[in-house]
Amino acid sequence: WVSAADGRIQGWDWEASDENGFTELMNRSGWVDIEAIATQDQVNGHDSKIRVKIVTASEEENEFFFPGFIDTHIHAPQYPNAGLFGSSTLLDWLETYTFPVESRFGSPPDPKTGHQTQTDPKDTPLLAQQIYDQVISRTLSHGTTCASYYATTHVPATNALSSLCHSRGQRAFIGRACMDNPDFCVDYYRDFSADDSIVATRQTIEYIHTLDPDGKLVKPIITPRFAPSCTRPALQSLGKLAASYSPPLHIQTHISENINELALVKELFPEADSYAAVYDKYNLLTSRTILAHAVHLTADERALIRTRDAKVSHCPASNSALGSGICPVRTLLDDGITVGLGTDVSGGYSPSILEAARQACLSSRLLGHSAAWQKDHPQGDGWEKLSVPESLYLGTRGGAAVVDMASDLGGFDMGMLWDVQLIRLGRVKLVEKSPLDGVVDGSVDLVKAGPVGNVDLFGTESWEEKIQKWVWSGDDRNVKAVWVGGRLVHSRV
């Protein structure tokens, strides 16, 4: 049962727990273990299996519990732009689509003083409240129980996102985006000094620490947007700021996403040996750092990231949509780097980690067809391909390790937090007469039948097969209920 006091798994005696509507949904019936990750020390020593609790209590045997998804990289203010990118690539996409929408979440700092003009919670634009509320609803409905959010530069709106996650019950890391480099950032949306960037960042950290003093649900995360958006003094101060807390704060940023971005980093930081070395120089490459994308890393950079035990957020939907490239995930894993999945909304077009898992499988299947890969891997044995269980592993246990919560999240181990989704697969109910015999059109209740796909027509599919069909053809209509720390935070009839 899930202990009401701390929302952790204490056993499987459902009858003992009448909290949050559990009992009507559950009955003991058994486990299915899905094997995942066939390489690299079973990913840093964690259990290679995803244990899925199968529920056969309902009249139809089509439901199972699955660990909540962990989105290790998502931009909350970009949600209104999901699906909007045209034929842009990273740098022009930022200017054309992204900075304009993010700038709407508050007023810019005063260019004379450099200070934020708005620091009061009541200065949060209504638009920011509404969009952030919608992002939380939407990600919860897709089974995301924990997300590492980028907000904007605006303190009031960033604090509002923190409060909303806290009150709605979504586990979250919240980062105020730091962007003080006038050589890259646009004047209508940037910090006007490194000092002001740090002061504003501190304000959001203090707000979150007051909101959730033990960090049970919401934690701050230091967020230099990426190297080009920050000056050297800002990067240095952010590294120091993260280290000044005990335990040190989490850090998130982007790395090696796009070829033009790599050239820009070289131009802006000519003294650095590599992109990863820029972050390392300012103590931003730590075991609590989440690096998004990591598509074009060199072997030396991978070794450095491994040495620092920094983590990678793989964002395959975004990498394809913005034409950034195909991330060699297997190489990262084999080099001993911890990897999770990110939606990267709105570089990514979907708020769903199920979609990210699907795209992780798809992009890994295309990787072997690229000339660059073939040059380095002439054996062509398909080693690079990720399986469905592996992609699910990355979306759960992998993500848990990325946010440094591997012993709390991502599975059903005793003592873990009850951050869980109840998945319902679609069913066809065979009717007595065939349509040809005059059964009225529309007699199938589509809501009861559930989503398209996932139909076990002959009742012969194994759970492994059902789960494959869920990953390849499922969506948020399959998510019947979601809990975070034992609290029911989403359900659909």
> Footprint of Fe ion on this chain (CB under 5 A)?
344
Residue showing tokens 């054996």: 379
Q: Which does 176 bind (CB under 5 to 8 A by kind): ligand GUN, Fe ion, none?
A: none
In the complex, minimum distance from the CB of residue 177 to ligand GUN, in angstroms, rounded to a whole number: 8
Q: Where are the beta strands (DSSP E) in 169-241?
A: 171-175, 177-178, 218-224
In the complex, minimum distance from the CB of residue 79 to ligand GUN, in angstroms, rounded to a whole number: 12
Residue showing tokens 């919240």: 174
Half-sphere exposure in the Cβ direction for 419 (13 Å, CA): 28
Q: Which is closer to ligand GUN, CB of 263 or CB of 439? A: 263
In the complex, minimum distance from the CB of residue 315 to ligand GUN, in angstroms, rounded to a whole number: 7
What is the CA angle 332-370-274, rounded to 5? 45
- Among candidate residues 251, 202, 204, the one with its CA nearest the CA of residue 227: 251
Q: What x/- string results for residues 91 through 110 when contact with ligand GUN is judged by CB under 6 A?
A: ---x---x------------
The Cα 176–Cα 180 span in angstroms is 12
Number of residue whose CB is nearest ligand GUN: 347
- Among candidate residues 130, 67, 119, 75, the one with its CA nearest the CA of residue 99: 75
Q: Which does 257 bind (CB under 5 to 8 A by kind): ligand GUN, Fe ion, none?
A: ligand GUN
Q: Is 225 a residue that touches ligand GUN (CB under 6 A)?
A: yes
**Which of 77, 347, 411, 426 touches ligand GUN by CB under 6 A?**
347
The Cα 260–Cα 199 span in angstroms is 31
Q: Which is closer to Fe ion, CB of 180 or CB of 344? A: 344
Q: Which does 142 bind (CB under 5 to 8 A by kind): Fe ion, ligand GUN, none?
A: none
In the complex, minimum distance from the CB of residue 272 to ligand GUN, in angstroms, rounded to a whole number: 17
Q: Which does 225 bind (CB under 5 to 8 A by kind): ligand GUN, Fe ion, none?
A: ligand GUN
Q: Please, which of residues 300-329 interact with ligand GUN by CB under 6 A?
A: 318
- Cα–Cα distances (Å) from 302 to 20, 156, 310, 333, 379, in that order, read 44, 37, 10, 10, 22
**Which of 191, 196, 301, 344 touches ligand GUN by CB under 6 A?**
344
- Among candidate residues 108, 164, 116, 177, the one with its CA nearest the CA of residue 138: 164
Spatial contact of 142 and 353, defined as CB atoms under 8 Å apart: yes
Which of these ranges, 90-98, 186-194, 427-435, 476-484, lies near ligand GUN under the rule CB under 6 A?
90-98
Where are the alpha helices (H) located in 5-113, listed in sequence order?
A: 40-45, 90-93, 99-102
Q: Is 254 a residue that touches ligand GUN (CB under 6 A)?
A: yes
Q: Which is closer to ligand GUN, CB of 170 or CB of 343? A: 343
The pairing of beta strand 479-484 with beta strand 420-424: antiparallel
Residue showing tokens 């919560």: 405
In the complex, minimum distance from the CB of residue 254 to ligand GUN, in angstroms, rounded to a whole number: 4
Q: Which is closer to Fe ion, CB of 280 or CB of 344? A: 344
In the complex, minimum distance from the CB of residue 347 to Fe ion, in angstroms, rounded to a whole number: 5
Residues in the site for ligand GUN, rule: CB under 6 A?
A: 75, 90, 94, 98, 225-226, 254, 257, 318, 344, 347
